[in-house]
Chain A
């Protein structure tokens, strides 16, 4: 097609007037002018800002990032002490943001899908219960939920010292889990010799399960024979791991939390702040996702259900094999924005003292160094990068799920 559009490339070629008169160039001309104006406008704003800052004695400088932070952080996914730099403190905060956002996204999706499907249930009580859940959580600000959960837990749960002594009023669940008003302590893995092989086996079995299911599908499509999936999957998942565990001489052991001094020590400490934030974000956003799921399911025409029913599929299969795959096309785009909301809402963390990046870089660091503009710019950059990455990943997924036209 493009071969027919340029018959008039005359040798004398280009005259300046063509920038305005020639339709081929005119739009470029105007776009260029708009670009220059935009750059000038931005330049003016930025230089005005820098200028006013300079006159207030505040110059943009990033040197503070290299100075010792001086404060401690409770949840440290990476090595950090009060002598580490502000940059390191920001990194700890960034990872903490990602941790809570990741946990909340997964849980919100599970909650949302379950609640959305159940809301359409034929069981009156179940569907009404789900409506109540959706309306209650959607219509109260998430900050309130974060605070309610945090305060309820800190006031209602027992203090660590009530676990002590012969007249202890609280006790650990299964001697392994301690639920206190400072958070939940759970056992952690201690990796001994040979643990690497064990973990490789575990991961390989998980991959194996997926591979087996794919294989079963292929057999089904090719021959119409339905292989059993549940028991073999379970077997693939558990047996190799168990074998490896005993053959390698129990390379991985559990470390149980134990009361010592003021607090429990050992195991993994899920702090109250993390739990409250995670839980609040998950149930709040779950309510929105439930609505998306419901909308997605209802968007699939009823004829599909009836047709599948006429073919003799059971209701569970109809949902999983016929309805949900089609509904996903409607569900995924709004799901992306829910994930973005979770990430952004996680910046409310400071309300419960969870040290996310807003709490470290945008909170203590900003406050102790007074570098407000620098810190806020970095914060914006961080959230922008995270949000764009989530969008990009989800868009790839969305494209894969889109209607494949053959």
Chain B
């Protein structure tokens, strides 16, 4: 019991020294920059271009949040993270948010104490093999050597898949996506497995994309989305509704072409007016300016434009909307109403 008394006394001192948890929004505004965690490089999703400017589908979410909060889509400090370092970086406050093809799972949400603010890409885990192997199904992979990234859901799904199909494999754990690709193309592994979207994105950059096939099996659900730390709900709301603004904009037909016109004066569609801040006080409720959503959408266009410009069918990555079409088009992309 003596120890408790001692520690009790020390706790008081500890409390005094620790200080209250600062609001992330204030931090970001004081800093004038958003610290956003991204990948170390996946084409189309997050990668610096030839001029060193970060581009991509996930990067666009960071830019939209920076635009909403600071009015400047370029006011972002990108922090490259690997599958392994991303959660520590977020938990430790090194980054304000993580936008890096990260799967929303129960344990990450509850046990690791993060808050997923939504889903920006509905994905699933796939397998890629060299065509020359003549493999047609993932079930034929008994004894294969498989390259995986450590610290991912991929690693766990893989163990489950092979165990439930009663076949064996040899895992080769790797830190970053680019190393994995290097080993895979050198033939150090027979199979490369990760989210199907990343498979498509990385294959597009291979010297001979045609030599590799993606197997038909999708072995998991991988809802990918941006996330923040537990404990600052206001900040979580900001990131969530910035993402929702991008999605709603597509649904309502607000694009980077017509947004200036639509935002100049209240129009005939009240939800567009509320979204763009010409009516109501939604921005104020978030602690942001009335035109936060307009800034966010102007940063890189609405959800559909971001998709099409970075990973869509006209790019060399060539992903179809599929599950990621608007709910009105038979997809799963759906934002709660702006009201």
Contacts and interface: CB of A to CB of B under 8 A. Distances in A.
B188 A272 contact: yes
Interface string B89-106: 001000000000000000
Contacts of B144: 261-263
B173 A262 contact: no
Given A48-B14, A154-B188, A370-B87, A71 B175 contact: no
Nearest to B185: A155
B15 interface: yes
A289 interface: no
Contacts of B13: 44, 47-48
Interface in B172-224: 172-175, 182-183, 186-190
Interface string A260-272: 1111010000001
A83 B160 CA distance: 9
Contacts of B172: 74, 273, 353
10 contacts: A44-B10, A58-B113, A71-B171, A81-B163, A154-B183, A154-B188, A181-B188, A262-B141, A263-B143, A367-B84
A52 B18 contact: yes
A168 B142 CA distance: 22
Contacts of A43: 6-7, 10
A56 B19 CA distance: 12
A51 B183 contact: no
A44 B87 CA distance: 28
A355 interface: yes
Given A47-B7, A262-B141, 7 more contacts: A48-B13, A57-B230, A70-B160, A154-B188, A182-B189, A261-B144, A370-B112
A262 B190 contact: yes
A370 B84 CA distance: 10
A39 to B, nearest CB: 9
Of the four ranges (under 10, 10 to 19, 20 to 34, 35 or more), the interface on chain A belongs to 35 or more
Interface in A341-395: 350-351, 353, 355, 359, 363-364, 367-370, 372
B14 A71 contact: no
Interface string B124-135: 000000001100
A212 to B, nearest CB: 45
Nearest to A181: B188
Interface stretch (B148-156, B241-249, B320-328): B148-156
A269 to B, nearest CB: 8
A367 B163 CA distance: 22
A48 B15 CA distance: 7
A73 interface: yes
A121 interface: no
A55 interface: yes
B231 A363 contact: no
A127 interface: no
A102 B84 CA distance: 28
B186 A154 contact: yes
A353 B18 CA distance: 39
A82 interface: yes
Contacts of A40: 10
B186 A47 contact: no
Given A56-B231, A82-B159, A364-B155, A369 B111 contact: yes
- The size bracket of the interface on B is 35 or more
B156 A71 contact: yes
B158 interface: yes
A363 B84 CA distance: 7
> 6 tightest A-B contacts by CB?
A367-B151, A82-B159, A48-B14, A370-B112, A261-B143, A159-B187
A22 interface: no
Contacts of A55: 18, 21
A51 B14 contact: yes
A63 to B, nearest CB: 11
B145 interface: yes
Given A44-B14, A47-B11, A351-B175, A71 B113 contact: no
Contacts of B175: 350-351, 353
A72 interface: yes
B13 to A, nearest CB: 6
B186 A181 contact: yes
Contacts of B15: 51
Interface string A43-84: 110011001100111100000000000111110000001110
B83 interface: yes
A113 B34 CA distance: 55
A380 B231 CA distance: 30
B29 to A, nearest CB: 22
A51 B6 contact: no
Nearest to A64: B111
B27 interface: no
B129 to A, nearest CB: 10
Contacts of B53: none
B171 A364 contact: no
Given A155-B186, A363-B151, A263 B173 contact: no
B170 interface: yes
Contacts of A261: 142-144
B17 interface: yes
A71 B84 CA distance: 14
Given A48-B17, A58-B113, A182 B145 contact: yes
Contacts of A58: 91, 113
B315 interface: no
A182 B190 CA distance: 10
A265 B14 contact: no
Contacts of B174: 353
Contact of B14 (A52, A57, A74, A351): A52
A364 B158 contact: no
Contacts of B107: 368-369
A182 B188 contact: yes
Interface centre among A40, A56, A70, A71 (most CB of B within 10 A): A71
Nearest to A265: B143
Contact of A82 (B6, B163, B188): B163
Contacts of A44: 10, 13-14
A370 B145 CA distance: 28
B88 interface: yes
Nearest to A48: B14
Interface in B285-338: none
Nearest to B183: A154
Interface string B1-33: 000001100110111011001000000000000
A144 to B, nearest CB: 15
B143 A260 contact: yes
A48 B18 contact: yes
Contacts of A151: 182
Nearest to A147: B179
Contacts of B163: 81-83
